[in-house]
Amino acid sequence: MQPLTLDGSVALVTAASRGIGRAIALDLAEHGADVALGVRDPDAAAELADTIRGMGRRVAVVRMDVTDLAACRSAVDDVVAELGTIDVLVNNAGGGIVEDALDVTEEHFDTVWELNTKSTFFVSQHVAKHMRTAGGGSIVNIASQAGLVALPGESSYCLSKAAVIHMTKCLAVEWGQYGIRVNAVAPTFVETEGTAPALSDEAFRADTVERIAALHRIGQPREVAAAVTFLAGEGASLITGTALPIDGGWTAR
């Protein structure tokens, strides 16, 4: 088996400054990729950028609020101008609002949809135009187990991530002719700054661990990152249009 390598490739990771995004950026760099960090606050990514440069990789830091699509298109163009291409796109930015379905407002629904679904589609679209010109590439969307099962109190989030999973299939089928592969990963609860408040509740954490039916533990960012790196690379050259659960067995239950 050939070693996993992304030598000579350029990857763009959105929301890369912390949590899963940070782990993905580091793992891609460790496997040879130059990395563009798409972040809301470039100062927050300074330490990460220095770490990746210390690995001998090139780094670009671009301001990307994924709800501002015009700015995102400009940021993508800036990455191509600075690093020459984008071979790998990781759509990591996302989030949700916890509330009962009876209480979801139109404003909250639109906020979650724009953050998780609309941004993933249109950032992918613009990057794919560059990839088509270059002869191909790999897009990996960070979906969620919430796109595969119902999580009470997270209806708008579940819907948005289910749409990302089906979007992954649609784009894979359309863009395969250009050599562009499109896949997704669907993580369970992972230890990050974002999940810390919920997981600090002992009853919630115990219930979550119980529902992760096979392994009964919370995930780690590096475990998501490893799957993303695999899907980005040549080892996954015949894999497209799939959503890989990284859920410890939650959705198998």
Which residues are catalytically annotated? 157
Q: In what order do the strands lie in the sheet with 137-142?
A: 59-63, 34-39, 10-14, 88-91, 137-142, 180-187, 243-246
Give the Cα separation of 172 and 181 in Å (integer).
Answer: 6
Give the Cα separation of 16 and 171 in Å (integer).
Answer: 23
What Rg do the C-alpha atoms of the chain give, in angstroms? 17
Give the Cα separation of 57 and 32 in Å (integer).
Answer: 7
C-alpha distances (whole Å) from 193 to each of 21, 25, 126, 164, 197 are 12, 17, 30, 23, 8
- The amino acid occupying position 5 is T
